[in-house]
Amino acid sequence: MAKQTVKDLDVQGKKVIVRVDFNVPLKDGVITNDNRIMAALPTINYLIENGAKVILMSHLGKVNHKDAEKTEADKKKNNMAPVAVRLGEVVDTKVSFVDATKGEVLEAAINELQNGEIVLMQNTRYEKGESKNDAELGAYWASLGELFVSDAFGSVHRAHASTVGIPTHLSSACGFLVEKEVSMLAKAVDTPARPFVAIIGGAKVSDKIAVVDNLLKKADKVIIGGGMAYTFMAAQGLAIGNSLVEADKVELAKEYLAKAGDKLVLPIDNVVADAFSNDANIKVVPNGAIEDGWMGLDIGPKSIELFKETLQGAKTVVWNGPMGVFELSNFASGTLEVCKAISNLPGATTVIGGGDSAAAAIQLGFKEKFTHISTGGGASLEYMEGKVLPGIAIIQEK
């Protein structure tokens, strides 16, 4: 990786601003999953051990700044205080939480930091200028520290004040999490061992069209599953009943089918239901036999076998998006079986690009079976599209 990493910085006694991804799920002020906090610990602990004064910044949820009442409600709901409590339990140092994003109280807490201690600032999105990458805000936040470390992979695709504004003014580096994410995605997408198979699922073609486009140029096979497959089936003139379809993307799907040839692998049968429910009537039908009133909610057993055959011998697999409505147990089989097939490939580099597929793999008990599960759905998706990630582009080269 050509970018500086935290090990390239002399952090001893320095005030180091770290943009972390502490956007954890909260229910009634209680953290329901602390994975993102745990993922940041290697960088945080390295800085503590090397005598840095650590200033942590993160966003949490969304804050509506257009309506005063909604702004206050969102701030209350997305308060970082519970994160500070949890962080204090998992690091071996003093953690001070400052319920402010600007001002004398924050500045005083930072100036009082001893080497190896932490200040966690309030949610960056409390500031209206954060998501606009307000130049003044970025400059102010940069003035609070001496060095900047980018370790929020889930936010590097956004040009915000805390991801791009701060490193415009400070010497910068990637943290261990961002370094690992970028090196794993680069290895899988840019310099893959072959055969390279990409699996793209999820509901909408429109969300993934740029990914399909980029991966068709790079992969040996691109498997399509999930709701987006029905737009491709519609493009083939097949009956899809009441299945999800993006009518305005059918012509585009036709173009892909024409230019991709046998590189594009689609399902050949479907688990269909007469309602979007676990209690619906269910049957398996081949492509083209989905009647009106029925919808495809998972790939069928023959499709599972076809996808397994396509994966055989693969040395690199990138997966983004489930094969069906895995949240409903009756339609989780396709995602589960594909998960199993990928996890059993001998000697392959297997990467899940965040989002729903990462949630599915973890939920189904496959967390340890993949080479890498990305922590950033949107960021990994944009990397797979071949886009520049602004929060990484801004970081200094070695």
Among residues 77, 102, 132, 204, the one annotated as catalytic is: 204
Q: Is 378 a catalytic residue?
A: yes
Q: Which residues contact 370 (CB under 8 A, 6 or more apart)?
A: 342, 343, 350, 351, 352, 361
Q: Which one of 36, 53, 158, 180 is the catalytic residue?
A: 36
Active site residue 180: no
36 is catalytic: yes
- Token pair of 310, please? 């396509």
Among this protein's residues, is 225 annotated catalytic? no
Fill in the amino acid letter for 357. S
**What is the bridge-based pairing of β-strands 147-150 and 282-286?**
unpaired
Cα separation, 153 vs 151, whole angstroms: 6
CB contact burial 143-153 (16+ within 10 A = b; e otherwise): ebbbbbbbbbb
Residues 6+ apart with CB under 8 A from 36: 20, 21, 22, 23, 24, 154, 375
Distance CA 28, CA 361 (A): 26
N-term to C-term CA, the chain: 9
Cα dihedral angle (72, 77, 83, 84), rounded to 10 degrees?
40
The residue annotated as part of the active site, out of 355, 376, 377, 391, is 355
Residue 394, Cα to own-chain centre: how many angstroms? 20
The residues facing 27 across adjacent strands are 30
Specify whether the CB–CB gap between 280 and 274 falls below 8 A.
Answer: yes
How many C-beta neighbours within 10 Å does residue 99 have?
14
Burial 293-318 (b: 16+ CB within 10 A, else e): ebbbbbbbeebbebbeebbeebbbbb
- Tokens for 125, please give them: 């999105």
Count other Cβ atoms within 10 Å, centred on residue 112. 11
Q: Which residues are annotated as catalytic? A: 36, 204, 355, 378
